[in-house]
Amino acid sequence: MHRLVALLCLLLPLSLVAQHKLDYQLQVRADLSQKSFNVQGHLTFLTDAACADSVDIVISRGVSAATLRLEGAQAKMDTSVNHAGDIVYRWHFVKTLPAATPLRFTYAYERGSAPTFQFYLDTAYCMAGGYGSAWYPQVIAQAPDGTGDYLRGTGVITVTTPLNIMPVMAACTVVTTTATRNHTYEFRYAQPDIFSLYIGNYSRQEYKGNRAFNTYSLSKAVDGNDISRKAAAVLDYLATQFGPLTIPNFSIIEYPEYVAEQTGIGGASILGGVAMPSGALRQFNYALFGHEIGHQWWGNKVMVKGSKGKSMVSECMAQYGSLQVVSHFDGAHAMEYRKTGYPGYIKDQCGLGYLKNAAAGNDEPMATLSDKNGHILGDSKGFMTLELLSNTIGKPAFNKALQTIGEKYSKDGVTWENFLDEMEKAHGGSLQVFYQQWFNRTGAPSWESSWTQQQRKLQLTVTQKDSLYQLPLEVLITYTNGTTSLQKITVKDRSQQIQLPVTGTVKTVQLDPYFKVLHWDEELTPLAYSQAKVVRVLNLRMQRKNDEAVKLAESYIREGLPEDNSGVEFSLLYQLGRIAAVQQRPEAAIAYYQRSLQCVSRPADLLAMTYYRIAQLAAGRHDVALVEWACANALKADAANNNSDGIEAKVAPLLETLGKRTSS
């Protein structure tokens, strides 16, 4: 699962709704066998100053044009298409409306099965994620800086489906009625939300801890009780860091692996729950669940006003929460997470991931991350800058500031400036130097060091090679007798000499031995530059610019890759295989993967997944021999890589299905 295009917490920073009182009465009739998804109903809200002259409502493109009517004011309507391909209906009021004017819109349309980001429908399953697809009419609210976001609403969503499938929604109460051929589920939202709907052959498992946890699973391989128990522990721990959380229950929702492949969605956080592909639920991953559950605060309880710092307060804070969860529950892997990535999680969400992007020419200040880099840089550099900030302020004071933000700004939203001000209050002094270094400019520190020993004194020289930073660093001193000592220093100047006491003959001296400060490490720097070509291709793929990605990857391979010691050619062929699979070209995808296996340098962190993807594609064409061969090699490669990819759980359903086909 961690090889998908994006791990997503796919939350958008959303505007607050108290002044609007947006409410939906919405009916959905879903017939998957006919690939029909019919939506109708009405919505009401009160105007404010931002929509006194006009209001925008967004609906995804359907089978035919939607019927949308306004009651409560006279207006002219025109349409346009936004960057996601959705239809924007703009209503221009004939007269400027006073604040709190009630408006009522009625709507009806057939959505159909045309795929968009976070919407997928076939004869067996439907995903309708409201954060990325306006499968129901979404009202746009204007932030003070002029940016627009979807408005959250309350209401009742009634979903009617055939008896053999179940609709699932989170953060609401539900009443079910059964007729001769259909179920009707009435989902009641008392807390404003963006609505996400999942429909499939679900079974529900309930776990009761400090709050109710429900796991909605599609496959028998998912142990709902184990997943819920561990997720509940993660949520309870994050509450000690971020403060209390009020949600009616918590839902963990499985969706099929093939849907994840087709949409590129490797996970999503929704209010009161997380949605994960099947592979992610067969083996609990603390980094993954820490991130998605962290979004319950950052992106849900605390929402961002304006575009500046929005990724830092939502995406990066969720990733920061993920690191705290790993440090608490799986501390042995915390440094690995910071430096080269957590096992089974997206490998580039770490310090090395940022250095690869910087080497590839992709870098932006953390305070003004663009949407395309919210995950790429936010989940590699951003969370490490927040970890450094927490250590600068002190964890207790930092946590208290986060809890203050959670309570103080949960109603009206928080700006980036609010967030920074609360940090300075917690610190008791100015943090402007830190903000300038880590949030307002690009790059990361780079240094070189040397040392000499004079009896009981160590003379350490540290030289910063590029931009100047004020750096709190740890120094690990190892003596010839095997003992060690850890000391702390602060480096401020271009070249600085520091004298440290020692107790014996020094063998080695390491600066920042546990990679607590993101920097151009001697070990990581050559790897980052060698992998820059792969990163350029991967980023194009993540932006869905597949044709550009293919052209660039093939050009690199044609040019040749001499001294390829880090698996660059392998990785490029792997990316080409991923693209071919998404483009529904399984034969081409298998060919790319098999070419990659012929490379001399084969990265351990991609090898098992390459075999697994061959097995997936071979299963689709009923090639029994190839499935068995690929699964066997995937298991061997994963075992050699400390079972980092959880391949045993992934190949089990393939082999089970294969056995059923063989026996039949």
The answer on pLDDT for 484 being more than 80 is: yes
Q: Which CA distances in Å does 132 have to 120, 206, 321, 621?
A: 11, 28, 23, 32
Across 289-293, 310-314, 655-659, least confident range: 655-659
pLDDT band with cut points at 50, 70 and 90 for residue 208: confident
Specify whether 429 is located in the same domain as 452: no
Could you tell me which residues are beta bridge partners of residue 154?
23
Specify whether 146 is located in the same domain as 96: yes
pLDDT at res. 649: 77
The answer on pLDDT for 217 being more than 60 is: yes
Specify whether 549 is located in the same domain as 504: no
Per-range mean pLDDT, top range of 216-225, 294-303, 338-347, 477-486: 477-486
* Number of alpha carbons in the 13 Å side-chain half-sphere of residue 493: 6
Q: What contacts 366, CB < 8 A, 6 or more positions away?
A: 311, 312, 316, 377, 378, 381, 382, 385, 438, 439, 440
Specify whether 462 is located in the same domain as 434: no
Q: Phi first, then psi: give them for residue 255, nearest 5 degrees.
A: -135, 155
pLDDT digits (tens, 9 = 90+) for 72-81: 889 999 999 9
The bridge status of strand 119-121 relative to strand 23-31 is: unpaired
Burial annotation 236-249 (CB, 10 A radius, 16+ → b, else e): ebbbebbbebebbb
Domain count of the fold of the chain: 4
Instruction: Tell me the CATH number at 30.
Output: 2.60.40.1730
Instruction: Tell me the CATH number at 505.
Output: 2.60.40
pLDDT digits (tens, 9 = 90+) for 115-173: 888 899 999 999 999 987 899 999 988 766 666 778 899 999 999 999 889 999 999 99
Last residue of a domain, one of 438, 462, 489: 438
In the predicted model, what is the mean pLDDT of residues 425-445?
97
Asked if residue 361 belongs to a domain, the reply is yes
The answer on pLDDT for 659 being more than 80 is: no
Instruction: Tell me the CATH number at 626.
Output: 1.25.40.10
pLDDT at res. 6: 37
Asked if residue 534 belongs to a domain, the reply is no
Specify whether 274 is located in the same domain as 350: no
Asked if residue 512 belongs to a domain, the reply is yes
Across 4-13, 426-435, 486-495, 569-578, least confident range: 4-13
Q: What contacts 157, CB < 8 A, 6 or more positions away?
A: 24, 26, 27, 28, 169, 172, 186, 187, 189, 195, 197
Q: What contacts 587, CB < 8 A, 6 or more positions away?
A: none
Question: Do the Cβ atoms of 316 and 281 come closer than 8 Å?
Answer: no
pLDDT digits (tens, 9 = 90+) for 310-362: 999 999 999 999 999 999 999 999 999 999 999 989 989 999 999 999 999 99
Specify whether 261 is located in the same domain as 344: no
CA distance 65 to 304: 33
Specify whether 431 is located in the same domain as 471: no
Question: Do the Cβ atoms of 577 and 615 come closer than 8 Å?
Answer: no
The answer on pLDDT for 9 being more than 80 is: no
- The neighbour count for residue 563, using CB atoms within 10 Å, is 8
For a pLDDT cut of 70, what percent of the chain falls above it?
95
Specify whether 29 is located in the same domain as 94: yes
CA distance 661 to 657: 6
pLDDT at res. 1: 35
Closest of 266, 545, 285, 301 to residue 414, by C-alpha: 301
Specify whether 401 is located in the same domain as 461: no
Q: Which CA distances in Å does 653 have to 162, 215, 643, 659?
A: 26, 19, 17, 10
pLDDT digits (tens, 9 = 90+) for 11-39: 433 434 344 799 999 999 999 999 999 99
pLDDT at res. 582: 87
Specify whether 315 is located in the same domain as 285: no
The answer on pLDDT for 110 being more than 50 is: yes
pLDDT at res. 14: 41
Question: Do the Cβ atoms of 264 and 282 come closer than 8 Å?
Answer: no
pLDDT at res. 17: 39
pLDDT at res. 12: 39
- First and final CA of the chain: distance in angstroms? 30
- The neighbour count for residue 48, using CB atoms within 10 Å, is 15
Specify whether 31 is located in the same domain as 144: yes
Asked if residue 428 belongs to a domain, the reply is yes
For a pLDDT cut of 90, what percent of the chain falls above it?
75
Question: Residue 266 has which token pair?
Answer: 């490797």
The answer on pLDDT for 293 being more than 60 is: yes
Could you tell me which residues are beta bridge partners of residue 108?
40, 67
CA distance 342 to 27: 42
Closest of 51, 60, 37, 48 to residue 137, by C-alpha: 60
Burial annotation 74-98 (CB, 10 A radius, 16+ → b, else e): ebeeeeeeeeeebbbbbbebeeebe
Asked if residue 272 belongs to a domain, the reply is yes
> Residue 43 has what DSSP assignment?
E
Question: Do the Cβ atoms of 277 and 257 come closer than 8 Å?
Answer: yes
Q: Which CA distances in Å does 438 have to 190, 364, 414, 429, 621?
A: 40, 11, 20, 17, 50
On average, the pLDDT of the chain sits at 91
pLDDT band with cut points at 50, 70 and 90 for residue 509: very high
Q: Phi first, then psi: give them for residue 376, nearest 5 degrees.
A: -60, -50
Specify whether 391 is located in the same domain as 454: no
Q: Which CA distances in Å does 71 have to 56, 266, 380, 572, 583?
A: 15, 40, 48, 55, 44
- Quick one: CA dihedral 559, 565, 568, 574, positive or negative? positive
CA distance 204 to 185: 15
Any idea of the CA torsion for 597, 603, 608, 613, to the nearest 10 degrees? Answer: -60
CA distance 158 to 106: 16
CA distance 475 to 469: 17
Asked if residue 303 belongs to a domain, the reply is no
Asked if residue 9 belongs to a domain, the reply is no
Q: Whose structure tokens read 């697809």? A: 133
The answer on pLDDT for 7 being more than 60 is: no
pLDDT at res. 164: 87
CA distance 251 to 30: 21
pLDDT band with cut points at 50, 70 and 90 for residue 662: low
Asked if residue 241 belongs to a domain, the reply is yes
pLDDT at res. 146: 63
> Which amino acid is residue 546, in one-letter code?
N
pLDDT at res. 55: 93
Host domain of residue 465 = 447-517
Last residue of a domain, one of 264, 294, 324: 294
pLDDT at res. 239: 96
Last residue of a domain, one of 265, 294, 323: 294
